[in-house]
Amino acid sequence: MGIPFGFTGTNFGYSGLTVGLGTGGSGPTGGTLISSVSVTPSVTGTYVLACAACEFTNSVTGVTHTISVYLQVDGRTSNVTKSSIIAKGGGVNGVNGYTQITVYQNSNLLTNLNSVPVQVYAYTDATSGILSTHVDVYALANLFLSP
């Protein structure tokens, strides 16, 4: 992809959402929506590239869980990225387990100047105790393919 000339569509901050038990598949029914943003391109024939950096905690003592994250850009779904979250340590007053996952996805070739949605989804193998604590989403619009 070429050099962008428009940087738009950021969304970052603490989400504080509990991540639900997933179906194990990617797609809107396979996870909890933990962040979303939209970006509007100024030129057709370009692409959007999005990146989401997500932080999660595990408040379950003695049990390591798996968290899965994927990104959708204008309906195009990224691969699912998985990570283990270690168990909460030290008993009731211990420190929660922690992990961070970053995912990327580009759009299809844009043929109009409509707003392009960017959504971040997560799911886990736990029935409770997994929290999305922080999500940063960046979307670069107006990217051209390099020859």
Convert the pLDDT of each residue in 24-40 to its tens digit. 554 455 788 888 888 88
What residue ranges in the chain does DSSP mark as E strands?
6-7, 11-13, 17-18, 32-39, 47-58, 65-73, 76-77, 81-85, 97-106, 116-124, 130-143
Question: Which class for 120: exposed (0-12), middle (13-18), buried (19 or more C-beta within 10 A)?
Answer: buried
Q: What is the C-alpha to C-alpha distance for residues 10 and 34, in angstroms, rounded to an integer?
A: 14
Q: What is the C-alpha to C-alpha distance for residues 34 and 67, in angstroms, rounded to an integer?
A: 13
pLDDT given at position 128: 86
Helix (H, G, I), strand (E, B) or coil at 20: coil
Q: What is the C-alpha to C-alpha distance for residues 99 and 10, in angstroms, rounded to an integer?
A: 22
pTM (predicted TM-score): 0.86
pLDDT given at position 43: 87
Is the CA virtual torsion 17, 133, 77, 5 positive or negative? positive
Residue extents of the structural domains in the chain: 6-143
Q: Give which of 9, 103, 98 is closest to 53, Cα–Cα.
A: 103
pLDDT digits (tens, 9 = 90+) for 82-105: 999 999 987 778 899 999 999 999
pLDDT given at position 26: 46
The domain made up of 6-143 has a fold known as Jelly Rolls (2.60.120)
The structure tokens listed for 91 are: 């008993």
Question: Which class for 59: exposed (0-12), middle (13-18), buried (19 or more C-beta within 10 A)?
Answer: middle
The structure tokens listed for 104 are: 């990327």
Which residues in the chain show pLDDT less than 50? 1-4, 26-27, 147
